[in-house]
Amino acid sequence: MKRYTVMFSGLTMISLCFSSEHPSGQKDDSGPNILFLVVEDTSPYLFPAYGNQTISTPNLDRLASQGVVFTNAFANSPYSSPARSALISGSYATTYGNDWHRNNHIVPQQYFFPQYLREAGYFTVNAGKTDYNVTREVGKAYYDLAWDRMSSYRRGDRDNVTYNDPYREDRPFFGQFNNNTTHMSRLTSIYLNNREPSRINPEEVDLPSYVPDIPETRSDYALHLEGVEDSDKWVGIFIDDLEKRDLLDNTIIFFFSDHGGNLPRGKAFPFESGLKAALIIYAPPRWEHLLPADVGTISNRIVEFADFGPTLLSVAGVKPPGHMQGKPFMGKYEAPPRDMSFNYRTNTHEHFDPSRSLYTKKFEYTVNYTPYKIHGKRQIFQWGMPSQMAWDSLFNFAEVTPEHQGFYLPKPREMLFDREKDPWSMNNLAKDPAYKDVLDKFRNAVSRHIRETKDLGFFPLDVRNYFVDKGISLYSWVHESSYPFELMYRAVESASLGDPDEKEFLVSLLEHERPEIRYWGASGLANMAHQGQLDELPLKLFTLTNDPFGSVAVMAAEALVHAGSIDEGLNCLIKQAKDLNTFASTSLEQLGPAAEPALADIRKLAMESDDDRIRFYARSVLVNFGELPLHELFDEPAVERFLRIQKRRVREWAPTLP
């Protein structure tokens, strides 16, 4: 499309301007420069280096031929902000409670690994994106300790943030540059007739089998591939700049995507299609001995985003501090290869639906802690993709093939896939007796991991926000108090079972002083009721509908509805939604036909709520009851906003430069 040709022509001119302004001097005995080139929302299978034959990426192919391509790189989260939280901290975002996508927290100074590179003499620069799930106050306190130059912190100086800054003098640099060209926003036109045709023919793409083969999916995939080609041109600008300054022979380049791709069941979802990132690491001859595999090869070594910070410190000759949970996979302090990768998913927009995943080279294992909730619950951003809307329509209003039904049905508590035989995660082996020992091993490993890392990802959103509003670090608070970690994890695991034998324990949790533990007691009872295993309603559920924490009240109400006390539960949910509790509006959608007695109130929410998210979820309920056609899921202001943002971002996506 012409708009991108123009954009990259302009970028080349800007890069040449930079080339004439800044010196490139560097001490010969200093450590290697390290450059992060990060693209958004793109699975490995979209790149020719991983076998895609539809497009051409000569610059990335060059990096691959002179570096290592990793086939088992995991972003730890299928969403950008929790994934980047692992990158910047060298630890799992769940440890700091920073795993909820788009929820900012108070964290200690140790969170930011670039500060240790600065202490070792590196010039550090971040251009284009932070997205670390930290509050503005945290940024003001610590960003200047982590970065010498940072465009996202000092808004308006984007084009002036560069590793070529004269202030660098002869220091080695660590630079992180971000490109939005492949971001999901490129696809969110809602319907195909709202977008320009792609320069890539949708009929010529090879779709992954986990999505339906329909025109909307092909169009989204083609447009996404177009973005991958554009990002390759961006990579070429950096290679050219480094060569012109005689820096390439002293620079290690990490090219990677921030998590999986844009097709439905990719980004935001706990499958390989959402969690696995592309990763190519280039090293010049001077530093190729640091690579964990031979130049020009493909490595199946398991690496995680939590490993990147410790790895960069190791490459720079700095021993990673003890609080970091990641393992260096290059450099002086390289650790033995991982046997498995641990990953987390907490939410999709307003839906609180946590899961934890484990990957080995052969298997993919996931435990879903709220199995009664479906993956395919509508949410505002991703349903802007035509492919997601079309798949929704196929399932709910037409006919979808059996292999594509699971996304819209209650989830199994556990999922086990053979990655070698089933690369698209289509055949769940969890109930196959032949895999019992494997399942037991992985179940125990995940259970042990959440305890060892003191996983805070099971706190509902309003409980997290309570700490932020009080100016308290949740991470610091739980570590400085006698927090009942073991009780919390037992509550979460018990809640996911739907086992009548757990009822007495779950009921006892309803009286606990901590709201997150009351929440999981109610969630477990909701799960039991959904499965028809709750023979008697605990009276405490009725009083919990007035809990001071809205998440607890909503969960108790949802359990009441599932258990047959429909009026009491719906009255609470409607009241909470009217009070702008978005979690209540997602519960109304989750309830399906049981929400029918509240339709009059839901209609009012769809028309009158001051919160556009609540209006959206209310409209979603009306769609399910046939009161609105699916193509009216988004109200007119939302459609206009989607298209305005998409067009503006496409037009203004001038990627950050050297």
pLDDT digits (tens, 9 = 90+) for 405-461: 999 999 999 999 999 999 999 999 999 999 999 999 999 999 999 999 999 999 999
Helix (H, G, I), strand (E, B) or coil at 354: strand
Q: In which residue are the tokens 């896939």 written?
A: 417
What pLDDT does residue 477 have?
98
Q: ∠ CA 157-159-162 to the nearest 5 degrees?
A: 100
| Token reading at 240 | 């050219």
Residue 3 has pLDDT above 90, yes or no: no
List, in sequence order, every residue forming a beta bridge with 70; answer none if it has no partner.
279, 299
Task: Give the pLDDT mean for 28-35.
Answer: 86
Secondary element (H or E) of residue 639: helix 636-652
What pLDDT does residue 302 have?
98
Residues whose CB is less than 8 angstroms from the CB of residue 152 and which lie 6 or more positions away in sequence, other chains included: 126, 127, 128, 129, 130
Residue 77 has pLDDT above 80, yes or no: yes
Residue 374 is classified by DSSP as B
Helix (H, G, I), strand (E, B) or coil at 102: coil
Residue 140 has pLDDT above 90, yes or no: yes
Q: In which residue are the tokens 């067009």 written?
A: 647
Task: Give the pLDDT mean for 595-606.
Answer: 98
Task: Give the pLDDT mean for 111-139.
Answer: 95
Residue 155 has pLDDT above 50, yes or no: no
Instruction: Strand 351-359: give its sheet, edge to edge.
Output: 341-348, 351-359, 363-368, 414-418
List, in sequence order, every residue forming a beta bridge with 417; answer none if it has no partner.
364
What pLDDT does residue 160 have?
75
Secondary element (H or E) of residue 217: helix 215-244
Task: Give the pLDDT mean for 215-229.
Answer: 95
In this prediction, residue 22 has a pLDDT band, given cuts at 50, 70 and 90, of very low
Measured between alpha carbons, how far is 5 from 383 in angstroms, rounded to an integer?
29
Task: Give the pLDDT mean for 620-630.
Answer: 96
In this prediction, residue 110 has a pLDDT band, given cuts at 50, 70 and 90, of very high
What pLDDT does residue 650 have?
54
How many residues in the chain? 658
What pLDDT does residue 25 have?
56
Residues whose CB is less than 8 angstroms from the CB of residue 499 and which lie 6 or more positions away in sequence, other chains included: 528, 533
Least confident of 10-24, 449-463, 480-494: 10-24
Residue 531 has pLDDT above 90, yes or no: yes
Q: How far is CA 649 from CA 309, 364, 633, 652, in A?
A: 30, 35, 23, 5
What single-letter amino acid sits at 634? F
Task: Give the pLDDT mean for 310-332.
Answer: 98
Residues whose CB is less than 8 angstroms from the CB of residue 410 and which lie 6 or more positions away in sequence, other chains included: 371, 372, 373, 374, 530
Residue 13 has pLDDT above 80, yes or no: no
Residue 6 has pLDDT above 80, yes or no: no
Report the percentage of the chain scoring pLDDT > 90.
Answer: 86
Report the percentage of the chain scoring pLDDT > 70.
Answer: 93
Q: ∠ CA 342-475-483 to the nearest 5 degrees?
A: 95
| Token reading at 314 | 């190791």
Residue 652 has pLDDT above 80, yes or no: no
In this prediction, residue 655 has a pLDDT band, given cuts at 50, 70 and 90, of low
Measured between alpha carbons, how far is 658 from 646 in angstroms, rounded to an integer?
26
What pLDDT does residue 14 have?
32
What pLDDT does residue 24 have?
53
Residue 177's φ and ψ, nearest 5 degrees, are -125, 140
Cβ–Cβ under 8 Å, residues 178 and 657: no
Residue 312 has pLDDT above 50, yes or no: yes
What pLDDT does residue 646 have?
67
Q: In which residue are the tokens 């202490």 written?
A: 119
